Amino acid sequence: MRRALFLVLACLVPLSAFCQQKTEKAIFAAGCFWCTEAAFQDIPGVVSAVSGYTGGSVKNPSYEQVSSGRTGHTEAVEVTFDPAKVSYEKLLDVFWVNHDPTAANRQFCDSGTQYRPGIFYLNDQQKREAEASKQKFEKAKTFKQPLLTEITAAGPFYPAEDYHQDYYKTHALQYTFYVTGCGRYARLDDLWGPLRAKYNPKH
């Protein structure tokens, strides 16, 4: 009886492990993290999108510290995704058409190194895919300016304060005023043209 029970349990354990969702992470900076989070959050296969800070030298920085531009961080979003449902390549496509790669230390109405855009790769495979993606959009773009977006190895990612998370949902009216006043989506539509509709159908 005990042996039979042991065999049943032995069969169930691998099955349980097999059924567990395998996820991966990606880190993108595209200016204001409220907007970057909004771009990724509802993509099928994305488990979560967390606003935060990366690329700096201070541990656990606050929003006020990062906003000063003295910590070296940029506002970013850590995307957790199921690679069986959405590929890293697809996330890169969404990233490109959701920021202005012609600007190095500003995005729309926000200026400073804390708004610099970037892809922060977590392994060699992501690095290769990021570089290939940049080449793809360098060829596909219709504007003359080069793509200035950095591709660099990821350092520590620090989640931002709770009130920044899901801001586009919890403060929908303020968010709408912000993106409209900054001209973010109008600029992206003008910059990327049909590529934005192709790779970012939600906006």
Active site residues: 32
Phi and psi of 57, rounded to 5°?
-115, -5
Closest CA to 63 of 45, 80, 76, 44: 76
The residues facing 150 across adjacent strands are 118
Closest CA to 94 of 110, 108, 106, 77: 77
Given a contact cutoff of 8 angstroms between Cβ atoms, the answer to whether 29 and 120 are in contact is yes
Closest CA to 168 of 20, 24, 19, 34: 34
Q: What order do you get walking across the sheet with 157-159 strand by strand? A: 150-153, 118-121, 24-29, 74-81, 46-54, 157-159
